[in-house]
Amino acid sequence: MKKRGRPKGKVLLTIEDICIAALQILDESGPKGLSMRTLADVLSVTPMALYNHVEDRVSLLRALSDYVYRDVSQKFEQSTGSPRKRTEFLLISYYAAVLKHPNLSLSIFETPDAFSVEAERITNYLEALLKDAGLSLAKRKLWLEILVDFTHGSSIATATHHIKKKSNRAFIQSQSQRYEKALTELLNHVFP
């Protein structure tokens, strides 16, 4: 008997299949374009087949966030150097991940319950680095907010402009360099 929910021509539907297809939908159609029905259609399965892997749209967004940001966490865990260098490395890596899939971040902003394990891990790494800088608890919380908001704002603004204006790769590279330069100035205040 054929098991319901399997895509045609594939043995099993995996969470990776789901994440790849969902990211493609988000990248092409934006946050409003991602629904369980649309995702099921793209994967050639029934919407119920998706529920074997994710409970709902919120858990789908969590899975997508973990899928995208896991690479940032893993690379950071292998990084070495001073707390300042590691902070810079972490934020630049996170910036690149948000820039690659800005609609994922926008979807998560609209759905705070979608905050994922990997996003929390990145936040915890950053907070630990700020603690290593000798900042008080109040200053750590303030700088954590400043650095995360700056990174989100810069990456989403760059990606949105790129999408609307169909800018080229040089534009993204130029904006990324501007982000890194501004980040250096901010970190000069955190790590004097």
What are the residue boundaries of the structural domains of the chain, listed by start? 1-54, 68-190
DSSP3 helix / strand / coil % (the chain, rounded to 5) = 75, 0, 25
Residue-level pLDDT at 1: 36
What angle separates helix 57-77 from helix 36-43, to the nearest 10 degrees?
A: 70
Is the predicted pLDDT of residue 180 greater than 90, yes or no? yes
- List the CATH code of the domain at 1-54: 1.10.10.60
What dihedral angle (degrees, nearest 10) is formed by the CA atoms of 52, 57, 58, 60?
A: 50
Q: Give the pLDDT mean for 110-122.
A: 92
> Could you read off the pLDDT of 27-36 as tens digits, one per residue?
999 899 999 9
Q: Give the pLDDT mean for 72-87.
A: 96
Is the predicted pLDDT of residue 51 greater than 50, yes or no? yes
Residue-level pLDDT at 166: 62
* Cα atoms in the Cβ-side hemisphere of radius 13 Å centred on 138: 0
- Report the Cα–Cα distance between both ends of the chain, in Å, rounded: 67
Question: Homologous superfamily of 68-190 in CATH?
Answer: Tetracycline Repressor, domain 2 (1.10.357.10)
The answer to whether the predicted template modeling score (pTM) of the entire model surpasses 0.85 is yes
